[in-house]
Amino acid sequence: MSDQADMLRKIVSMKAGNQKPELKPKDEKITKKARVITITSGKGGVGKTNITINLALTLSKMGLKVVILDADFGLANIDVLFGIIPKYTLLDLIHEEKTIFEVLTDGPDNIKFLSGGSGVEELIRLDRKKLRKFVNSIELLDKLFDVILIDTGAGLSQNVMNFIMAADEVLLVTTPEPTSITDAYALVKMVSRRDRKKPINIIVNKAENSKEAMEIANKLCMVSDKFLSLKLIKIGYILFDENVTKSVKMQKPFVIYNPKCQASKNITEIAEKLFVDKSTEESLGARGFVSRLLSFFGV
């Protein structure tokens, strides 16, 4: 483990732009933290997985190091959309059979992803020693990555709520369908009961035009502010685009399938809004995220 950590420090200091890799004392506090963003929705089938993957690729193009955690345990499908079968899952890490380096799968354009496998519930069964080891290995993600995107299942279950509450910030996806909007609102309501300050960014996906998208985002913001005292952030929208459906059939992310299509333009706007002028100072990082998550699960 310590050999690995030393090697990692070397890699990290090189990546930071230093010519000579600097080795820091072992007990030095790590300050760099990844920004942890959970992508969720009230209703299923609204485009979470597509948004997660294409946002990851766009951020990677912007020079950020990105890892995706597939936490939709029922319907894990990041791998399906990539057309890549991961060799290992989170379970292999939890049971200490594999290291964090081994369980990360290579995606396109330098991004990595980690399949959740059959669930975080496994963590609850671990003893303290194993848990500490697990948290320590997760901490390495802070050093290796700038952004951790977590693709969850549709909201309103306790499991997904825990992922939302543990993350630094949330991307809440809705479509113009009334049921999707009301389910998104129900989710905001649940969050507001636990934390009115949680940064929730609204994305309207599959909109017919920008006017429709903006009207929906405005309405959601207004009711959340008025009735729940929670201020949503309007981060952008993605128009309905046949390139998305076609790219899914080809098992290719749409930003690769057609980088100039409407959906690709829209996801770039969202990525820029999310990362320009925003510092990561307030982020808890991977370790903070996992510690919070475990406390929610009562570990």
Ligand X SMILES: Nc1ncnc2c1ncn2[C@@H]1O[C@H](COP(=O)(O)OP(=O)(O)O)[C@@H](O)[C@H]1O
Interface positions with ligand X (CB under 6 A): 41, 44-50, 205-206, 238, 240-241, 244-245, 248, 263
Nearest-approach distance from CB 255 to ligand X, in angstroms? 12
- Kindly tell me which of 49 and 205 has the beta carbon lying closer to Mg ion: 49
In the list ligand X, Mg ion, none, the entry touching 205 (Cβ below 5 to 8 angstroms by class) is ligand X
Structure tokens at 24: 């820091």
Structure tokens at 213: 């998208």
CA separation for the pair 213, 90 (Å, rounded): 36
Nearest-approach distance from CB 173 to Mg ion, in angstroms? 10
Q: Where are the alpha helices (DSSP H) in the chain?
A: 2-15, 48-61, 78-82, 90-94, 100-103, 121-124, 128-144, 158-166, 178-194, 210-228, 242-249, 254-257, 262-275, 285-296
In the list ligand X, Mg ion, none, the entry touching 74 (Cβ below 5 to 8 angstroms by class) is none
Q: How many residues does the chain have?
A: 299
The region of 34-42, 48-56, 88-96, 258-266 touching Mg ion under the rule CB under 5 A is: 48-56
The region of 42-50, 262-270, 279-287, 288-296 touching Mg ion under the rule CB under 5 A is: 42-50
In the list ligand X, Mg ion, none, the entry touching 36 (Cβ below 5 to 8 angstroms by class) is none
Amino acid at the residue 262: Q
3-state secondary structure 191-259: HHHHCCCCCEEEEEEEECCHHHHHHHHHHHHHHHHHHHCCCCEEEEEEECCHHHHHHHHCCCCHHHHCC
Nearest-approach distance from CB 238 to ligand X, in angstroms? 5
Q: Which of 41, 49, 105, 205 binds Mg ion (CB under 5 A)?
A: 49
Residue nearest Mg ion by beta-carbon distance: 49
Which residues of the shown chain bind Mg ion in the complex (CB under 5 A)?
48-49
